[in-house]
Amino acid sequence: MNKLLFIGLDCATPQLVFDAWRDELPHLDFLMKHGVHGELQSCIPPITVPAWTAMMSSKDPGELGFYGFRNRKSHRYEELYFANASYNNETMLWNYLEKAGKRSVLIGVPQTYPPRQLNGIVVGCFLTPDKSADYTYPAGIKEDLDAIADGDYIIDVKDFRTDNKDWLLDQIYRMTERRFKVVRHYLHSEAWDFFMFVEMGIDRMHHAFWRYQDAGHRLYEPDSPYSNAIRSYYRYVDRQIGNLLDGLEPGTTVVVASDHGAKKMVGAICVNEWLMQKGYLRLNKPLDGPVKLTPDMIDWKKTRAWGEGGYYSRVFFNVKGREPEGVVSAEEYEAFRNRLKEEIESLGDEQGRPIGTRVFKPEDVYRTVRNIAPDLIVYFGDLDWRAAGKVGTGRIHVYENDTGPDDSNHAEKGIFILKTDPSRLTKAGLSEGQRLDGLSLYDVAPTILDCFRLPTPSGMIGKSILNGVSRSADYLAWSIDPSETEKGYSLEDEEKIKKHLEELGYI
Ligand SMILES: [Zn+2]
């Protein structure tokens, strides 16, 4: 095999691609018929950062040392940072490929901003503060993108939290159209062995338009002009994929994958409001109305735990000797953690009916736990509910849309499709068109290396679905130059990223 094209579709969800709309997506259907496909179990948490990086390194978030977009830098209450590429010290699939003499093109892959040096080119992802930043490698190619895109190259839609759905729809189509133009351009103008791009449009469509197509959604509007918005967009993306496939050299392997799926969102659970009602979190003074919780509002001497909102929740404990004004002693830590886990799991909906919340301890789900992990990771209602960090609502369950789009949440299973040399499939005991069970996001990088007939590095979690090959792994020695790491954002850029991620509902 000489070449591999990886089509990343953030949030593409199996119930739509494999089941409901497969007949309407002829190009994805073609890849499934002539390859293998299956639901792809995401990492914990199933969130864009860290999921794509976990997929492309085959390392879990604990090993990567980041647990979401925003992470704690130290045990001080106010020190948070956004995990861009400079915080990622793991060897990525393309680093291994480079060691094996392969050239890569990466476009829009989450957490590739700021871009690192590579044998190939990189166009950074939506963690780029704005286009004045150096978001490409080599730096000069960013000057070409608008001309190639035939218009302003859109890294990600801005002002996502809008009621002007027509405008938003137009922006998402523009972004996607221009991304595919850039992809087609580099597919044909660059030399490459591995070509990967990630289109964010499906994720943005789900969050903004899910209510119009799902009769089970509390805000469903029958006969809305947007009832087919997501479906039409999937068809549009499928046609764009068709255009890419038409121009490929025969024999090119194609992978299509998403980092997680989607499901309807029921509402939000105000995790801090609940902690306050339980007496675990105390504020300095009463509130008049809903506000975002900030560390200065908290009476730390009387607070045992607090939470962060987002598509899932992270709960942190105020531990004696660890946090500046910690109160939970080391001796009671584990008992307190078990109690809170149980209490959160039994928190029901407004009527007290069970919602199937799942709570994880980091050390139970990761092979190691680097940097500062949450003390508990919470999927409210198994991700039917998002978590809201705000306080002063006076209620635990809220439905209004004031923290970002809330039509859909992330689901744990994404999609995976692999079309490669049929003899490789046969040799692995697989047959064309087969739907596979039990695929994990961690299997993707080993499988791609295997397509290049390269071995799975020993530290990777996953395994090749083609059964792997055994060969000397000498080429795997690799280390990141420490001077390249942890540059983070300037304060100004950090504000831009914070605003963008808040609009999108990630934080
Ligand atoms: Zn995603």
Mapped onto helix, strand or coil, the DSSP state of residue 400 is coil
Residue 125 has pLDDT above 90, yes or no: yes
Query: Mean pLDDT, to the nearest integer, of 366-395?
Result: 95
- What is the model's pTM? 0.93
CA of 230 to the centre of ligand 1 (A): 16
Query: Mean pLDDT, to the nearest integer, of 61-81?
Result: 93
Tens of pLDDT, residue by residue over 222-266, are 889 999 999 999 999 999 999 999 989 999 999 999 999 999 999
Query: Mean pLDDT, to the nearest integer, of 411-439?
Result: 95
CA of 203 to the centre of ligand 1 (A): 6
CA of 383 to the centre of ligand 1 (A): 14
Query: Mean pLDDT, to the nearest integer, of 51-72?
Result: 95
CA of 42 to the centre of ligand 1 (A): 10
Domain of residue 26: give its range: 4-263+410-504
Q: How far apart are CA 397 and CA 226, in angstroms?
A: 27
Query: Mean pLDDT, to the nearest integer, of 179-200?
Result: 98
CA of 283 to the centre of ligand 1 (A): 34
Residue 119 has pLDDT above 50, yes or no: yes
Give the range among 43-57, 336-350, 394-408, 439-453 with minimum mean pLDDT: 394-408
Position 478 scores a pLDDT of: 47
Residue 240 sits in the same domain as residue 275: no
- Beta strand 358-360 with 376-379 is antiparallel
Tens of pLDDT, residue by residue over 218-234, are 888 888 999 999 999 99
Name the domain boundary from 380, 406, 432.
Answer: 406
Q: What is the dihedral of CA 235, 239, 245, 246, to 10 degrees?
A: 150
Average pLDDT along the chain:
92
CA of 52 to the centre of ligand 1 (A): 8
Name the domain boundary from 353, 373, 406.
Answer: 406
Tens of pLDDT, residue by residue over 38-61, are 999 999 999 999 999 999 999 999
Query: Mean pLDDT, to the nearest integer, of 184-212?
Result: 96
Residue 144 sits in the same domain as residue 248: yes
Give the range among 63-77, 114-128, 254-268, 457-471 with minimum mean pLDDT: 457-471
Query: Mean pLDDT, to the nearest integer, of 390-419?
Result: 87
Mapped onto helix, strand or coil, the DSSP state of residue 110 is coil
Residue 227 sits in the same domain as residue 299: no
At 365, give phi and psi (nearest 5°): -115, -10
Position 469 scores a pLDDT of: 44
Query: Mean pLDDT, to the nearest integer, of 110-124?
Result: 96
% pLDDT > 70, the chain: 95
pLDDT band at 500 (very low <50, low <70, confident <90, very high): confident
CA 121 to chain centre: 22
Q: How far apart are CA 98 and CA 121, in angstroms?
A: 12
CA of 48 to the centre of ligand 1 (A): 3
Position 488 scores a pLDDT of: 75
Give the range among 28-42, 318-332, 367-381, 479-493 with minimum mean pLDDT: 479-493
The candidate with the shortest Cα–Cα distance to 186, out of 238, 145, 235, 236, is 145
Q: How far apart are CA 102 and CA 194, in angstroms?
A: 7
At 393, give phi and psi (nearest 5°): -80, -25
Give the range among 3-7, 114-118, 464-468 with minimum mean pLDDT: 464-468
User: In which residue are the tokens 């969130």 written?
Assistant: 47
Residue 404 has pLDDT above 80, yes or no: no
Tokens of 482: 């420490």
Position 268 scores a pLDDT of: 93
Name the domain boundary from 406, 437, 454.
Answer: 406
Q: What's the half-sphere exposure (Cβ side, CA atoms, 13 Å) at 193?
A: 20
Residue 170 sits in the same domain as residue 295: no
Residue 172 sits in the same domain as residue 61: yes
CA of 68 to the centre of ligand 1 (A): 11
CA of 342 to the centre of ligand 1 (A): 29
Position 403 scores a pLDDT of: 57
| Cross-strand partners of 106 | 122, 196
Contacts of 392 by beta carbon, 8 Å cutoff, 6+ apart: 273, 287, 288, 289, 290, 291
Position 158 scores a pLDDT of: 86
Residue 448 sits in the same domain as residue 402: no
Mapped onto helix, strand or coil, the DSSP state of residue 360 is strand
Tokens of 136: 């490409």
Contact yes or no for 195/187 (Cβ under 8 A): yes
Residue 471 has pLDDT above 50, yes or no: no
CATH for 146? 3.40.720.10
Query: Mean pLDDT, to the nearest integer, of 469-495?
Result: 60
Position 402 scores a pLDDT of: 58
Residue 433 sits in the same domain as residue 327: no
CA of 202 to the centre of ligand 1 (A): 9
CA of 415 to the centre of ligand 1 (A): 12
Residue 226 sits in the same domain as residue 342: no
Residue 415 sits in the same domain as residue 494: yes
Residue 229 sits in the same domain as residue 249: yes
**How many folded domains does the chain comprise?**
2
% pLDDT > 90, the chain: 83
User: In which residue are the tokens 């149980």 written?
Assistant: 342
Tokens of 478: 């690799």
CA of 108 to the centre of ligand 1 (A): 12
Cis peptide before 26 (omega within 30 of 0): no
Residue 66 sits in the same domain as residue 136: yes
Residue 190 sits in the same domain as residue 251: yes
